[in-house]
Amino acid sequence: MVDPTSVAVGLGLGGYGIHLLRKYLKQRQDRLRSLAMLRKYSTSSRIGLHQGQMRLLVSMPQVGELPLVEQEAWRVREEDRNQNFLELGLLQEVPEGDESEPDETHRQAELQSRAAWMETHEPPLQEHAAVVAEEHVGSGVVIATQDDEEPEVKIDERLKREGGASGEVQISLAWDDYNDLDLHLFCPSGERIYFNNKKSECGGELDVDMNIRPLSKTPVENVVWRTNAPLGTYKVGVHFYKHHRKRRTKRLCRFRLRVVTHGQSKEYLGKIKYGQAMQMVTSFSLADAAHKAS
């Protein structure tokens, strides 16, 4: 006689296995479609020499550059990412604003608070980052031009003030309030550079990390490969880590992102809401131009 409990367990496991298979197939289908879109809509240009070899920069498209049907597919994926962010419990409670001038004691207390938060939330943050890293299309930011109505953000002055380095590949994030945005750089190796992993094995480094405590209304963050930037795909993510309610700082934060590759610079204007999923702002690939041509 067959044990009913065993049958029920078997059916349950079988149903869960089918669910996982369907999920994998859907993710695979989405990935293949995204790659097809990249091949069709990405742009490439030759950039500076590296060790005697010309490099090719391949810029991935923004969602607004895709056909409407693909834009809608991106919005569905974005909604899934937002839901994933909330389900993983990554939204922090917003403390009351502190109008006092932060000192070193306050800063150390905030560092300890972030370390304690990471002890609990590092695994779900890694899981969320992995979901975001599956995206190949930029989140719809505007490529900045001289005609933009947005006030100019002097990123170089902020980097000089904070001691940020420059190099072959450099990604800088700037915003104009006391919130804590975080730059996440997905390396060609698959490693992720961010505040809890500031140096990668492939040579990249987060050398400026600001507003853990709301110290500056003109913050900047910086990831740089001084030399020997690896070939492959770089993906740039922005995470609204913490909303500091200081001097009426808002939950919607506008930012400017600058990407420098072998002296070629491009800036993006974007915005992110507190409680929103990490944004895949843009991505690009470096390749050996001679090898690519062959």
Going from N- to C-terminal start, the domains of the chain cover 53-293
pLDDT score, position 293: 43
Please, where are the H alpha helices in the chain? 4-41, 68-87, 104-133, 155-162, 289-293
pLDDT score, position 54: 75
Tell me the C-alpha to C-alpha distance, in Å, between residue 117 and each of 45, 64, 82, 122, 174.
42, 36, 20, 8, 24
Average pLDDT by stretches of 10, the chain with 294 residues? 62 69 65 62 69 79 92 95 95 66 70 87 95 91 64 87 95 95 96 96 96 91 95 96 85 94 91 95 88 48
Full-model pTM: 0.83
Phi, psi (5° rounding) for residue 27? Answer: -60, -40
